[in-house]
Amino acid sequence: MIFLKENKINSTINNNYLMMNINNLSIQGNHNIQNSMAAICVAQLLNISNESIKDSLRSFKNIPHRLEHFLTIQKVKYINDSKATNVNAVYYALESVKTPIIWIVGGVDKGNDYSDLIPFVKNKVKAIICLGKDNLKPIEFWFQSFEKCKNFSLDLKEYENCLKVSEDVDYIYNMACNMGGMGFIENNKAECMLSVLINTNFLRASLKNSVKRYFFSSSACVYNASKQKKTFVEALKESDAYPAEPEDGYGWEKLFSERMCRHFTEDFGLQTRVLRYHNVYGPEGTYDGGREKAPAAICRKIANAKLKNINTIDVWGDGEQTRSFMYIDDCIKGTKMVFNSNSTDVYNLGSDEQVSINQMIDIIEDIANHKVSRNYQLNKPKGVRGRSSDNNKIFNDFNWSPSIKLYDGLKTTYHWIYNQIISGENTKKFTNSY
């Protein structure tokens, strides 16, 4: 007879009693406990001594690539389980993990049912890094999905996929791009530029499927870098994008896609609308993982500092670089307004409330009621020295101006991020890469 009780294996075979704590097993996980129990049964039937059995189970060396602990850096353990190429193997591997993990996956999808893995992913996986061929985020893990809409999980860099999602569609809002905050933009220029394929193929598909109106979300990163070298610069008007010297990588992708929209309107009659967003922020957005923008990152840092009773945060650059930040509600209102208009001009959509990073930290400190000192990291990506939005054109044409002050928007954003952190919601998100 053999059974498990209170984390101890109890076995009596041939009148020989053995007890062993599962914490003393060299390999962990419920499946390995079962394997160990089977090995104990066989060993006792062969009259192998209890001490030999225990010594073997304590010292057993797993084969390479199967839950193989091969490295520890700053208390972070690296485990190689690359032999786990089927759902059952992955199931038992995730089951065996006791602490939150970052899961690196890859390979080719074989049409398996992954539903058994979902509980482990939600409870144990902090982020997923996808390196294989089939690496699209499953719909059930989208941060935003809508029951009354068709929700697709497709690679929009492929023309056929753009054709599929634009079929029988009158209006398209293209806000898809592989991007993030300054750290991501400066270190992933090629990946940012590959988003050109999304806009190009979406425009082609829209024309093919007789889409009535097409929207493209551009960025303040299209502006000429020579006009953004001072901390408090003159607000950038739409014409300042030329002569062209945009942000390398991401900015070039946006500027090229703007021109593509313009020429599809001029040459083919496709109605396009383009807005240059200036640093959109707010709740329900990315706030960690390396793709977050400055407002979310600083909110997260100060929230964590408060929760952990820490009085120092890291700041990229000297903190004197400036931007204007637009709250998400203003962004949505302005976008709908321009999209539904008859104008095909390109417009800025942003705030003229220009502040330095240090000033924004001051604001969030006040909101959080937690003062911090600043560890300036001068070797980190900083972007242009200063940038602000000139809203005269959109105000004159539409009487539009931002309605939400920075303090009020940051207050809502900070409290949302703070509540996400304390509830652990960030551990339920995926991190996806091309």
Q: Which residues are annotated as catalytic?
A: 250
- What is the pairing mode between strands 272-277 and 346-349? parallel
For 185, 334, 377, the CA distances from 328, given in Å and listed in that order, are: 21, 10, 29
What's the Rg (C-alpha) of the chain? 27
- Nearest Cα to 406, choosing from 341, 353, 347? 353
Q: Report the C-alpha gap between 302 and 308 in whole angstroms.
A: 10
- Nearest Cα to 203, choosing from 263, 127, 154? 263
Q: Tokens representing 421? A: 């952190």
Q: Report the C-alpha gap between 33 and 414 in whole angstroms.
A: 45
Q: Report the C-alpha gap between 340 and 5 in whole angstroms.
A: 67
How far from chain centre, in Å, is Cα 73?
Answer: 23
Instruction: Please answer whether residues 357 and 202 qualify as being in contact, where contact means their C-beta atoms are separated by less than 8 angstroms.
Output: no
Specify the DSSP element, H or E, that contains 205. Answer: helix 196-208
Q: Report the C-alpha gap between 370 and 365 in whole angstroms.
A: 5
Please give the DSSP secondary-structure letter assigned to residue 222.
G
Give the residue carrying structure tokens 């890859």: 106
Q: Report the C-alpha gap between 383 and 386 in whole angstroms.
A: 9
Range 374-402 burial, b when 16+ CB lie within 10 A, else e: eeeeeeeebbbbbbbbbbebbeeeeebeb
